[in-house]
Structure 1
Amino acid sequence: MKQVIFLFILATNLLFSQKKDSLIFSEQQKFETKKLIIPATLMTAGSIVLSTENRDFSVTENKNFLAFGGYPEDYLQFAPHVSLYAFEWAGMKPKTDFWNRTAILAKSEIIVFGSTYLFKKAIKKPRPDGSNEFGFPSGHTANVFAGATMLSMEYGENYRWVPYVAYSVATGVGVLRIAHDKHYWSDVIFGAGLGILSTKIAYWTHQYQWNKKSEKDNLTILYKEHL
């Protein structure tokens, strides 16, 4: 169990240090097998923990353990998504124009919520608090890591601090889900990998059909002439 949690922390740290994806002038990203390593590691680790974890332990059994009130993660899970546009309004430069960025975000959300729902329905794992059988994987964690990945891909190359903040918030949401007795470690670890993978797929499959006229501006033409 400790080894798998270590892998989760290691994989999250690798997200901070990995080479940022290049989205120059909204060109379609090429699929690269190496970019599957981190989400695959997290999802594999989550699956391993799922089969070995002690589900008799409940956070609520220990009154001194992270006794939070309310569920701030219900809102925090959308912080990276809001930041995708808030950062631009604040003067920061994203890698993708508004319409293509919005299309990619919509595609990522469809993938992450759709896949999360299918896993929950298929596995029917009880939550630690016994409220229902939709514990695996963590939808909050999957969603926030999907948003954090997109935020990092859009702004991380020009603003190196963005991935650190984005993935710190995402990790915090996962911890809060455990602290609030809504999920086990396996749910959160697998959800993180699923969220990252969902956004990667959204970029890999996007054709950049939106806002094509922006590619005809003088700056783009000048850039392409000097390639």
Structure 2
Amino acid sequence: MSSADEDRQGQYASSPCMAHEIAPNYFDPMASDPEQERDVARWRRAERTRLRNARHTLSVEMRRQVGQTLCRNLSDFLDERFDGACGRVLSAYWPIKAEPDLRPLMTQLHEAGCIIALPIVEQKAAPLVFRRWAPGTRMVRGDWNIPVPPPSADRLIPDIVLAPVIGWDPTCYRLGYGGGYFDRTLANLAPRPYCIGVGYQSAELRTIYPQPHDIPLDVIVTEAGIAARRDAHQSGSDR
């Protein structure tokens, strides 16, 4: 593959399709207008499909390089913000659907004294739970056939959460897979953990048209570095 082809593959966040159908002069993020909600839901479904298809076009090698760079950026951010997160509980995630692979960072953090957890869907339409993970953990198949720690693993409450994003916007709102699990979980946790969105730089959107149930993250980290940050928000885990 030529460098020109790689450049084209790495630039896939075009203007949001169908966004023109959500009229700016009536869109209200705090409204509960059924027509507006339908328009936003339809637009989000289209964006999820577009962004997921686009990242699947990236070569295995390109995804590997992005994952390595993202791991370095996340490690640097955790060093700066949380002194490496040593002694803290950090929820990571197992990569699926062409997501950047953070497993090398999970191992690195574990070896440095960070306590790693993975999110689990134990009950549909309920908040996630978190089970402890370490290199060598015997994994079982969870929701969507994602490998997860077994039920015998310790349950933990995270201080820091890494949240995979399909798309993201400059105000740190996350476009996820549509199940609402992360929003439901963040709304249920007190104190709220510090939340780091992780995704591709090219998946930036002008806005996700946030709805009343959407909860912004604290920061978005991509292979380009810190893509967006809500400095005004202070998390309960920042203690």
Q: What TM-score do the two structures reach when normalised by structure 2?
A: 0.29
Q: TM-score, normalised by structure 1?
A: 0.30
Structure with the bigger percentage of strand: 2
- Larger Rg, first or second structure (1 or 2): 1
More helix by share: 1
